[in-house]
Structure 1
Amino acid sequence: MEWWQAIVLAILQGLTEFLPISSSAHLILPSQLLGWPDQGLAFDVAVHVGTLIAVMSYFRKDIKQILVGLSQQHIHHKPNSDARLAWWVVIATIPAGLLGICFDGLIEDYLRNALVIAATTIIFGLLLWYADTRQHLLKQINDMPAKHALYIGIAQALALIPGTSRSGITITAAMLMGYSRSAAARFSFLISMPLILLAGSYKSYELLTTISPIPWSFIFMGALVSAISAYICIYFFLKLIEQLSMKPFVIYRLILGCFLIAFVALGLVE
């Protein structure tokens, strides 16, 4: 892979990791439609590190408050909203973590194709539209009970199906339960951190145990580019989400899904 191709893919990964438009739908196009080579394990590690750095940097104050809340709960044995949020993040991470371990190979072998990605891009785009048009999206994260965190976590597990979009399905699930767009997006970003950390750690282990030389300069470049693009994406998405609504992302998903179906019909992608 050329350096400029890696930069383009790192930007794409950084943007689509957190926007509700599916990263897999975008990364399949350069490889299959343009004939770009597979990005490889080193690149996967790089972009996971980059997106993790971005989301942890943006939510550094939230992370600090959560850790302080946990310590205060441990010391004073009194529950507080920050400690409760930490447990909700853990609860929401469990379903996707377990299913990812059990079905990773199956998903990679049978579901990672353009037609599946096109279908899920359209279907879950329409579901996002339905959730966004519901009235009374007023609930905040502080109102969240444990069962809602679990439901969002189960929805997050659906994102193992390529084209679903992890952020898209978790935001959709939260809005279906009445949470505001900003609250849904914030919780979606918070629960992304453990999963990105787990996925990045697993891929890093795979990379370190290979006999191939590790392209450190390639990793640093990919991590830097994806971190910058992801941070910019998070910043503007959270700033504009209440004014924009989800309609632009829904329209984009429908157009992208239709393009993928057309490419499959023409035999341009598989």
Structure 2
Amino acid sequence: MTWLQAVVLGVVQGLTEFLPISSSGHLRIVSELFWQDDAGASFTAVTQLGTEAAVLVYFARDIARIVTAWLRGLRDPDRRGHDYKMGWYVIVGTIPVGVLGFLFKDQVRTGARNLWLVATMLIVFALVIAAAEYYGRKRRPIEELTLKDGIVMGSAQALALIPGVSRSGGTISAGLFLGLTREAAARYSFLLAIPAVTAAGLFSLPDAFEPAGEGLNASGAQLIVATVIAFVIGYATIAWLLRFVVNHSMYWFVGYRIVVGVALLVLLGTGVVAAT
């Protein structure tokens, strides 16, 4: 991997991680389209540590409040309020992606990165997001989140193991189907991602720093720089998205996904880019 590639892919990760357009899919598309190679699942997972660090900083007060309330609630049943329950919702919601990610880790790193699959998922889940926007009542604030919501949205997060689906797209869509407001669904989506994405990034560190096989192999310095870039841009993206979803529908992202998905199918069909 060159330094230009590392910087560009870090920017792509920061821009796309929190938008419902699939960061892993975009990293796969960009690396293949411009350099006829794959940055790899390990590079993707490690640079996601930068964007998750942005979540930790942006929601630092919320996270501290939830963790404190959860610990206090474990000791004192009388102090088990909303924040205590939110702690459990994040823990329980993380289980599906943790289990499936472990069971299918080899497939996620290989066959799932086929660009035909990425293009298809971009389009198919654009329709899912559109349906969620259309049918969702969007009335329930995050204070009304339940354990059922956490399980359903956690299961939707697991679908993002397939590049092109989008972790935030899956969880936000599930939240909208459950009647949550866009902002509530987005906020819980950010919190829900912290354990899973952090664990995936740490788990992938050995493979990323000691790469083997084909693909773009980044040096340790390049990984660090790309991760820092992803953190800075990811922080700005969080702030922008939370403001955007208050007054705008998800249809903007639906249209973008369909355009990119169709364009990718055309490029694949004409042989301009290779699927693997």
Question: Common fold, TM-score beyond 0.5?
Answer: yes
How many residue pairs match? The answer is 269
Which stretch has the larger CA shift, 103-112 or 93-102? 103-112
Alpha-carbon shift at residue 92 of structure 1 (Å):
0.8
Distance 1:45 1:100 in 2: 12
- Corresponding residue for 1:122? 123
Q: Deviations over 1:207-233 (max 9, x none)?
A: 56779xx94432331121000111011
- Contact between 1:18 and 1:233, CA under 8 Å: does it hold in 2? yes
1:11-40 deviations in whole A, cap 9, x for unaligned? 101111110001133112232222255436
2:76 is matched with which residue? 76
How big is each residue's C-alpha offset from its partner over 1:30-77, in whole Å with a ceiling of 9 and x where there is no partner?
322222554368844651221121111111011111112113213322
Indicate conservation of the 8 Å contact 2:24/2:44, yes or no: no
Counterpart Cα distance in 1 of 2:269 and 2:36 = 20
Identity %: 35
The one-letter amino acid paired with 1:20 is P
Deviations 1:96-154 (A, max 9, x none): 11000001112333221111111111111111011112353111222122112111111
2-structure distance, mates of 1:75, 1:62: 20
1:251 aligns with 2:255: yes
Contact 1:43 1:222 in 2 (8 A): no
In structure 2, relative to structure 1, the CA distance for the partners of 1:30 and 1:74 (3 Å cut) is closer
Residues 32 and 38 of structure 2 are in contact (CA less than 8 Å); yes or no, is this contact kept in structure 1?
no
TM-score normalised to structure 2 length? 0.90
Tell me the distance in 1 between the aligned counterparts of 2:266 and 2:21.
18
Deviates more, 1:34-43 or 1:123-132: 34-43
Deviates more, 1:185-194 or 1:218-227: 218-227
Letter in 2 for 1:193: I
Deviates more, 1:201-210 or 1:6-15: 201-210
Q: Which runs of 5+ in 1 are unaligned?
A: none
Task: Choose 28-37 or 201-210, whichever is displaced more.
Answer: 201-210
TM-score by length of 1: 0.92
C-alpha RMSD of matched pairs (Å): 2.1
1:2 CA drift (Å) = 1.9
Report the Cα distance in structure 2 between the residues aligned to 1:226 and 1:107, rounded to whole angstroms: 22
Query: For structure 1, which segment, 44-53 or 119-128, has the greater mean C-alpha deviation from structure 2 after superposition?
Result: 44-53
**Where do residues 76-225 of structure 1 align in structure 2 (5 Å cutoff)?**
76-78=76-78, 79-134=80-135, 136-207=137-208, 215-225=219-229
Distance in 2, Cα, partners of 1:44 & 1:253: 20
Q: In the aligned structure 1, how far is the partner of 2:249 from the partner of 2:143?
A: 22
- SS of 2:161's equivalent in the other structure is coil
Preserved contact between residue 46 and residue 222 of structure 1 (Cα < 8 Å): no
Counterpart code for 1:15 = L
Check if 1:227 corresponds to 2:227.
Answer: no
Does structure 2 conserve the Cα–Cα contact (< 8 Å) formed by 1:20 and 1:165? Answer: yes
Deviates more, 1:67-76 or 1:185-194: 67-76
1:60 paired residue number: 60
Summarize the Cα distance change of 1:20–1:40 in structure 2 as closer, same or farther, 3 Å threshold: closer
Q: Which amino acid aligns with 2:240?
A: F
- Counterpart CA distance in 1 for 2:39 and 2:91 is 31
Matches within 5 A, 1:11-30: 11-30=11-30
**8 Å CA contact retained: 1:19, 1:167:** yes
The letter of the residue matching 2:60 is: R
Amino acid at match of 1:9: L
Distance in 1, Cα, partners of 2:179 & 2:2: 46
